[in-house]
Amino acid sequence: MTRALCVLICLLPSVASAQAPTLESLLSRFAALPGLEARFVEEKRVALLAVPVRSEGRIWFSQDRVMRRVTAPDPSAALIADGRLRMRQGDRTEEIEIGDNPVLRGFVDSFRAVLAGDREALERYYRATLTPGEGESWTLRLVPRDDALRRFLREITMRGDGVTIHEMRMVEVSGDETRTTFTDVDTARRFSPAEARRIFRVE
């Protein structure tokens, strides 16, 4: 009896880890992340262009802040923090209040809310459907709820494994499609105060 009980207890962690993820459990795991850093490659397919528009760079996330730096072909930076989107390309800097623009807010929360594990923000703008795959893999489909957002966006699909997002695909009503792949994903990234000041800025 004792040996059988020991075998059962030893098996419990592996059985639990094999359970299919749910939207609630996945977002809870994202909410517990200290931070994130990854490389990305983005390809935008526009109906009028024969070749996709390609860009690459790095992305960081910490405490509800998202920093995106494009390194090629044309350097640019975009910071989402404190309800604002700050962008810089070349010598031009622009700042937008996210809350004043429901379409922009919807686009921002499609990614930020997932990383923050913020289900309320996510479902404010989207109907979210999580489809489990093998092991800890999953596919998250986001369909806009907001009328203004639906005029521009058909759906967003994210694919990942555990708390690692591998791909994000955005399909617009026009038929244009943006596919972003993430590599070298560090989901245990912590930022010292000095690093945070250096990374989460557009100047």
Q: So what's the pLDDT on residue 52? A: 81
Q: So what's the pLDDT on residue 148? A: 86
CA–CA distance, 104 with 48 (Å, rounded to integer): 24
Q: So what's the pLDDT on residue 1? A: 44
**Mean pLDDT in order along the chain per 10 residues (203 residues):** 39 45 93 96 84 92 93 94 90 88 83 92 93 94 91 94 96 92 96 95 86
Q: So what's the pLDDT on residue 8? A: 34
Write the DSSP string, 35-77: -EEEEEEEEEE-TT-SS-EEEEEEEEEETTEEEEEEEESS-EE
Structure pTM?
A: 0.84
Compute, in degrees rounded to 10, the torsion defined by CA atoms 39, 139, 141, 96.
-20
Q: So what's the pLDDT on residue 19? A: 67
